[in-house]
Homo-oligomer: A and B are copies of this chain.
């Protein structure tokens, strides 16, 4: 492990829950010598990656990281950062994949990608997603801010025979999303489109959006469902990471449970 790598590793010990770290404390966390750690911190401080809290002499992340983040955002905007994941997802599942983001109480489409595998495809032709009637929306309700449910409950329009139009019916879908880690819509918005959706998170584990695969009802077998869920989990990890976020352990656990071989027997039985 190079000196530079060790220096950079120090930065990863700072987090929202541990924003300031003293020298000795950092030595213990990193399991390294005090003199070494001190010199590494000096290098980081010189470059503006950390700064000293003048009163406590503890270290915290510095302004340089803001600077770099702005350059990164200008270089690879969020939209561009999902394109690769999205095309891989569409490719692996043979279905239409898309990513949407939450802004206030509205979930809008950021990017989508269709797979050429089948002649029939789901096409994402809406820009904002009804919260109660789409896999994406259910995901937002399940993992997003609590006050979103009231907004959803105030607009329970019926789109198809399957659209849930009572708060209780929506609540059931949301509960299911929370336990499985995936939002789902079986023709709730368009009768022939079955969708599955996985949430995306920021660094503080706040919901920021969802990645979704939209399939066609007639080919939506349990096997395909499992494949899509596996790929969705992968894509969600990837996109969340690319946006600088982290997945809550609860979601990972829900996925592990949902995708375990044991559970597979249940769903296919």
Contact = CB atoms under 8 A, between A and B. Distances in A.
Given A61-B75, A66-B72, A71-B61, A46 B5 contact: yes
Interface string A48-91: 01000010000011111111111111111000010010000000
Interface in A11-32: 11-12, 14-16, 19-20
Contacts of A66: 69, 72-73, 203, 243-244
B63 A14 contact: no
A4 B244 contact: no
Contact of A69 (B12, B19, B244): B244
Given A68-B14, A68-B69, A203-B67, A40 B4 contact: yes
A199 interface: no
Contacts of A84: 54
Q: List 6 tightest A-B contacts by C-beta distance, closest first.
A: A66-B244, A69-B69, A70-B203, A19-B75, A4-B7, A67-B244
A242 interface: yes
29 contacts: A2-B3, A2-B43, A4-B4, A4-B8, A5-B43, A7-B7, A8-B46, A8-B49, A9-B47, A11-B47, A11-B68, A14-B75, A15-B71, A16-B70, A16-B74, A19-B71, A20-B75, A61-B68, A61-B72, A61-B75, A65-B65, A66-B244, A67-B203, A67-B244, A67-B245, A69-B69, A70-B245, A71-B203, A74-B203
A44 interface: yes
Contact of A43 (B8, B39, B68): B8
Interface centre among A6, A20, A39, A61 (most CB of B within 10 A): A61
Nearest to A241: B63
A202 interface: yes
A204 interface: yes
DSSP class of A's interface residues: helix, strand, loop or mixed?
Answer: helix
Contacts of A40: 4
Contacts of A62: 72
A177 to B, nearest CB: 25
A65 B64 CA distance: 9
Contacts of A9: 47
Contact of A5 (B47, B202, B243): B47
A5 B68 CA distance: 16
Given A68-B65, A71-B15, A43 B244 contact: no
B61 A65 contact: no
Interface in A64-121: 64-76, 81, 84
